[in-house]
Structure 1
Amino acid sequence: MERGLKASILLATIVCASVSTAKSECTDKTAPMQMRLAYAGDRGMTVSWNTYSKLDHPSVRYGLHPDSLDRKAVSDVSVTYPTSTTYNNHVKINGLKPDTLYYYQPQCGNSSQIYSMKTARPVGDSTPFTIAVAGDMGLIGPDGLTTTTGPNGGTAPLGPGDNNTIQSMESLKSEWDFFWHPGDIAYADYWLKEEAQGFLPNYTVADGQALYEKFLNEYFDEMTALTADRPYMVGPGNHDSNCDNGGTTSNGVAYNISICPVGQTNFTGFRNHYRMPSQESSGVENFWYSFNHGMVHFIQLNTETDIGGGFVAPDEPGGSEGMNSGPFGSYPNEQLDWLKNDLESVDRSKTPWVIAAVHRPWYVSAKNTSGSICTICKDVFEPLLVEYGVDLVMQAHTHYYERNQPLNNYVIDPAGLNNPQSPWYITSAAPGHYDGLDSLVRPLKPYVVYAQDTAYGWSKITFHNCSHMTHEFVASRNNTILDTATLFKDRKCEPGTGGDDGGDDTCEI
């Protein structure tokens, strides 16, 4: 199955066609839902959605005006997996103008529902922009984070009247270009824990297969408010691996991955639901890849499998959580070799900022249990991040917010945020899910500048120019800024917008 999945990722056929639609073939089972976007190189966008039935040739109509969707892109990627109740449809549209607003409609879409999407800013564009970042966001609502929890459940339920993180991000959506989610998506694997803690009554282990898929579908339904018109860039986390996070104890019985049916192991849902720009950046599936947006080069790394270099990742066989997932590369050092090649290829005159995201942190005020502090990841990735002058590393996994100093091998950069030579580390993993927030381990590490474990929130990162970048932590409940800091890099900024904004869509109709 995995070979077939990888082939479907690489061999999608994209064509342009007439804009006629076969309305007679549209039924309730082919109606689109759970819309989501992802950048596909500097001039592309992947449109993804789900249907209850397979589409022979998923298609998307699009154009520069909502009343004139005069172009059409078609693929052959409509995939599912054992246990899934839906099909994932993926259509990549190439040859788009950069930094341009398009309108689109997926196959069998409601004629009154036209979505919009804005392509990536051209490489070298010095126009300021903002992105949203948060790891570890799960289902919000009756089956996830809510104002109540089960016995021994979440430690921080939502307060009465609080906005949740999806609502907060939606209310400020005009301020950010895309959402970056470095791992732990939906927390569908929490069905057994919620049942064991009495939050979900009258369910059994036998119900798990259906509950897992139910949670996934509810999450994607919720996220459509954000992802239908903003790219949703994701990375792998431990809760995306299998059906019960490697093991859960219920009523005194310890369960492990053996209860997970085929389809709910080895990151199968994660691999089917998304199409990240790995093909464009020579990465591997949704696990590691990079992309450009204006004056920034973004890198997503995989801390769950394929660490390579003779190390064992926390989730590989022999790791700390028994995930039994991966590897996904073709040889042990592939991700590390890819990272080196990717960093070497960055033209800092066009993309002066280089930002990386990881799921598991290595600089964080947490107990070093179950891979919470990934020293293996540090040993493998940090030397390259330092050598090539990566500016910022966004971390997740521990469910709170922590802003650190720039660091290299545990040593605080004496420059602080005033032109440091070491990467700046921030952990932003407090958007919320059933289990609430974690508690910081005090006393905090000596490199911590600000940390909090009482408010749900997410990160806004603004790139002002080639030398100044500001990070803000937004409290979801009321959109207040709880923490802000600006990084300065001593670089000469050239005015103008690098990149070519000509060359319209390659397929003329």
Structure 2
Amino acid sequence: MKFTLGALAPFLPLVSLFAPAAQAASNDTTPMQIRLAYAGPTGMVVSWNTYAQLSQPTVRYGLSATDLNLTASSNESVTYTTSTTYNNHVKITGLKPNTQYFYQPQNSNSSTPFTFKTSIPAGDSTPYSVRMVVDLGLMGPQGLTTHVGKGAANPLGPNDKNTIQSVLEDDSDYEFLWHPGDIAYADYWLKEEIQGFLPNTTIEGGIEVYESLLNQFYDEMTPITSNKAYMVGPGNHEANCDNGGTTDSAHNITYDVSICMPGQTNFTGFINHFRMPSSESKGFGNFWYSFDHGMTHYVQLDTETDIGHGLVAPDEPGGSEGEDAGPFARRDAQLNWLESDLAAVNRTETPWIVVAGHRPWYVSAKNRSSTLCEDCRHVFEPIFLNYSVDLVLSGHVHVYERNAPVAYTNPDPAELNNPKAPWYITNGAAGHYDGLDDFVLPLQPYSRFATDKVYGWSKLTFHNCTHLTHDFVASANGTVLDTATLYKNRTCAVEAKTPPSSSSSSGSTATSSGAAAATYTGAAGVVESSLEAVMGLAMLVVAYVSLV
């Protein structure tokens, strides 16, 4: 079925309920949904949306809030068939690295300029932290809230902060926000209507509902993304429609991908909305790219299409979910790019290599045959091992699980004390309307800490070239439920800072706490002394009381 805006006329009284932003707009060229992305160490892309197309999107910027004496422009004001807005993108180049700038997109109604800081240049050993969320959807009123529809699960508690609030209100400084896939979950509109969470429209009217949910999410993110680089990657919900179909049991109807609108198929909205540093890293669009930041080389991969070796990714034609999405490049393009990218890393300047892809292959999930990306493992894991990747991050499964470093399904005997294998962490617990997933017990042998009852986000802290800490932060109250530090035995090009107090130069530590009924420790979990075990139990009780 082909949908056109004209076909929506009979449904406008219904769909207008879902477009409060459009009704409140005072000027069709007023910027909204402002977001940033690194464009190399001396560049930044400023993006924003407007209801009207701009002939020449322009940004004023400068080193002082009172003197925005420089301008940058582009001709990128783009949209797609069913979108209610235009996406405007301006790349600013020639900036000073690690420097704060003030800026305003054209026609801004804000009296105070926004700010951004360019990336820390490679070779700079200044300690820093970043935030990561995966599988993050709209947070109330028409997304995850204190109640959910019939068949959904895990509503927020009445006093809980959601993940967007938690990241925004966290008072510790960080460099950027990384979101490797499943952004907004606007494609859940039909499921939410069937479950009674949203008022029923029509299939044709779903176009406006989808766009409204998407715009609400980006509006919610603006307080973060207008001041911090927002680095994203593709997930299945950027290309599918309720995972390829939704069943309305009451009416005995199962919908398939024929109901999907242009904004949901083939990553159309994702392609239009973002501009990642693929040109700077010889990657491909928003799908695979890399960038350096201080002592770390970051790699974003696409686990949804273009896997390589002729393997069909889950969202490619013929894939498991049936969407028409990709491939986007020649055979093995991503795989060849990854090899070249990692081979070119200067480990003296950027000793850490951190990779993110949406789908995991090491996780204690249900339906492992359909959940895990085994093809990804077969293609990517040998390259990760060959180039000594330090950390691999993923989501897709809506749980948090910290694993040991793993090579070909086997835990590295060194654990976090100078392992040869990459360290794998899955955190798809940022939160969305449908709630969290469940683990299958017992956990996999490589699992070290896991929770399937807590929404949360990841904090990565790079202390120096030898110590990297990962924290899982509960969004509800900011409690750190799990922390672990990876140690790598290497010589820093610049004298290392004092290691974190929880670690020693000859080893690593990992501690965990959380709701008593919501956390699990793997069979080969972290060995603690008797005193540490007692302290851990105390932390567990405190965390449980604070969460309930």
Alignment match, 2:529: none
Q: Which amino acid aligns with 1:164?
A: N
Provide closer, same or farther for how the CA distance between residues 143 and 71 of structure 1 changes in structure 2, counting only shifts above 3 A: same
Alignment match, 1:412: 411
**Contact 1:360 1:371 survives alignment (8 Å):** no
Alignment match, 2:93: 94
Partners in 1 of 2:263 and 2:185 — Cα distance? Answer: 16
Aligned residue for 1:286, secondary structure, equals coil
TM-score normalized with structure 2 length: 0.84
For residue 252 of structure 1, report the CA deviation from its aligned partner. 2.0
Post-superposition CA distance 1:193-245 (Å, at most 9, x none): 11111111232322211111011100000000110000000000001103433
Aligned residue for 1:29, secondary structure, equals coil
CA RMSD of aligned residues (A): 1.4
Provide closer, same or farther for how the CA distance between residues 29 and 205 of structure 1 changes in structure 2, counting only shifts above 3 A: same
Alignment match, 2:302: 302
For residue 399 of structure 1, report the CA deviation from its aligned partner. 0.4
Alignment match, 1:231: 229
Post-superposition CA distance 1:54-98 (Å, at most 9, x none): 000000000001001010000110000011000000000001000
For residue 318 of structure 1, report the CA deviation from its aligned partner. 1.6
Partners in 2 of 1:357 and 1:308 — Cα distance? Answer: 17
Post-superposition CA distance 1:425-484 (Å, at most 9, x none): 000111100001111111110110000011110000000000000000000011010000
Post-superposition CA distance 1:248-300 (Å, at most 9, x none): 11232111111123333100000000000001000000000000000000000
Partners in 1 of 2:324 and 2:390 — Cα distance? Answer: 33
Runs of 5+ unmatched residues, structure 1: 1-25, 498-509
Post-superposition CA distance 1:476-508 (Å, at most 9, x none): 0110100000000001112279xxxxxxxxxxx
Provide closer, same or farther for how the CA distance between residues 95 and 174 of structure 1 changes in structure 2, counting only shifts above 3 A: farther
Provide closer, same or farther for how the CA distance between residues 447 and 171 of structure 1 changes in structure 2, counting only shifts above 3 A: same
Partners in 1 of 2:458 and 2:167 — Cα distance? Answer: 10
Aligned residue for 1:332, secondary structure, equals coil
Post-superposition CA distance 1:171-194 (Å, at most 9, x none): 115421101001000001000111
Aligned residue for 1:242, secondary structure, equals coil
Match of 1:158 among 156, 159, 173: 156
Runs of at least 4 residues of structure 1 off by over 3 A? 368-371
Alignment match, 1:258: 258
**Contact 1:314 1:371 survives alignment (8 Å):** no
How many percent of aligned residue pairs carry the same amino acid? 61
For residue 167 of structure 1, report the CA deviation from its aligned partner. 0.7
Match of 2:188 among 187, 190, 208: 190
Q: Which amino acid aligns with 1:291?
A: F
Alignment match, 2:544: none
Alignment match, 1:403: 402
Q: Which amino acid aligns with 1:74?
A: S
TM-score normalized with structure 1 length: 0.91
**Contact 1:321 1:370 survives alignment (8 Å):** no
For residue 378 of structure 1, report the CA deviation from its aligned partner. 0.2
Alignment match, 2:276: 276
Partners in 2 of 1:262 and 1:487 — Cα distance? Answer: 43
**Contact 2:194 2:200 survives alignment (8 Å):** no
Alignment match, 1:178: 176
Moved more, 364-373 or 117-126: 364-373
Alignment match, 2:245: 247
Partners in 2 of 1:323 and 1:113 — Cα distance? Answer: 43
**Where does 1:75-224 land on structure 2 (aligned, <5 Å)?**
75-110=74-109, 112-153=111-152, 155-172=153-170, 174-224=172-222
Q: Which amino acid aligns with 2:461?
A: T
**Contact 1:246 1:257 survives alignment (8 Å):** yes
**Contact 1:188 1:243 survives alignment (8 Å):** no
Q: Which amino acid aligns with 2:287?
A: F
Aligned residue for 2:339, secondary structure, equals helix
Alignment match, 1:323: 323
Aligned residue for 2:72, secondary structure, equals strand
Moved more, 241-250 or 456-465: 241-250
Alignment match, 1:14: none
Q: How many residues align?
A: 470
Alignment match, 1:344: 343
Q: Which amino acid aligns with 2:348?
A: S
Partners in 2 of 1:280 and 1:371 — Cα distance? Answer: 35
Moved more, 316-325 or 215-224: 316-325
**Contact 2:349 2:493 survives alignment (8 Å):** no
**Contact 2:401 2:447 survives alignment (8 Å):** yes
Moved more, 200-209 or 220-229: 200-209
**Contact 1:405 1:413 survives alignment (8 Å):** yes
Partners in 2 of 1:271 and 1:111 — Cα distance? Answer: 28
Query: Does 1:49 find its partner at 2:74?
Result: no
For residue 317 of structure 1, report the CA deviation from its aligned partner. 1.5
Provide closer, same or farther for how the CA distance between residues 174 and 76 of structure 1 changes in structure 2, counting only shifts above 3 A: farther
Partners in 2 of 1:391 and 1:281 — Cα distance? Answer: 20
Provide closer, same or farther for how the CA distance between residues 421 and 125 of structure 1 changes in structure 2, counting only shifts above 3 A: same
